Amino acid sequence: MEETTFIMIKPDGVQRRLVAPIIARFENRGLTLVAIKMVNTSEALIDQHYAELVNKPFYPGLKQYMLSGPVIAMVWKGKAAAALGRAIVGATNPKESAPGTIRGDFCNDVGRNVIHASDSVESAKREIALWFKPEELVHYVPCDLGWVYENVS
């Protein structure tokens, strides 16, 4: 079943010029990019995005970090996109991320972990709605789907 997921390259990923290599990781796994934009975030948007973390002691530092520069907000589509996106990204703590994952290859510190990925289909729906209007999502069928997935007509 195809689903969508939300992926965000955080300010450190943008500043370190990792946007193209990160996008390539998702494309190489067969996911389809359906929306992308560079955004200077607002406090309100970050508070909504991280609503479940607002009362945590580390949140002020996270918020300051997320407001420190632009981010790349993206929506990706594909079979089990949310789970696959999390697998591509790796564990939240880069020290626990396997080599070959984005965090395992590009990060050293949890406070500079380069990327966010929705942790479930439900979270993805909420996050996509926060960052994108429905008309910003592009609907198309890539010509290579039969080479990425079995039983595609």
Question: Apex CA 102: angle with CA 97 and CA 107, to 5°?
Answer: 70
The answer to the question of residue 145 being in a domain is no
User: Could you confirm whether 116 is annotated as catalytic?
Assistant: yes
Q: Enumerate long-range contacts of 82-87, CB under 8 Å, 24 or more apart.
A: 82/3, 82/5, 82/117, 82/118, 82/119, 82/120, 82/121, 82/123, 82/124, 84/5, 84/29, 84/31, 85/5, 85/7, 85/26, 85/31, 85/117, 85/118, 86/117, 86/118, 86/119
Q: Which of 22, 19, 5, 2 is nearest to 121 (CA)?
A: 5
Domain total for the chain? 1
Pairing state of beta strands 115-117 and 71-79?
A: unpaired
pTM value is 0.95
The answer to the question of residue 152 being in a domain is no
Q: Which of 78, 152, 151 is nearest to 121 (CA)?
A: 78
Summarize pLDDT for 17-75 with one digit per residue, the tens.
999 999 999 999 999 999 999 999 999 999 999 999 999 999 999 999 999 999 999 99
The domain that contains 15 carries what CATH number? Answer: 3.30.70.141
The answer to the question of residue 124 being in a domain is yes
pLDDT grade, residue 153 (50/70/90)? low
The answer to the question of residue 150 being in a domain is no
Task: Quote the pLDDT of residue 2.
Answer: 86
Distance CA(131)–CA(79), nearest Å, equals: 22
Statement: residue 101 has pLDDT above 70: yes
The answer to the question of residue 119 being in a domain is yes
The answer to the question of residue 34 being in a domain is yes
User: Strands (DSSP E) along 2-126, which ranges?
Assistant: 2-9, 32-39, 71-79, 115-117
The answer to the question of residue 147 being in a domain is no
**Positions at the binding site for ATP:** 10, 58, 86, 92, 103, 113
**Positions at the binding site:** 10, 58, 86, 92, 103, 113
Mean pLDDT computed over every residue of the chain: 95
Q: Which of 22, 84, 116, 117 is catalytic?
A: 116
Q: Which of 57, 104, 72, 70 is nearest to 8 (CA)?
A: 72
Residue span of the structural domain in which 12 resides: 2-140
The answer to the question of residue 104 being in a domain is yes
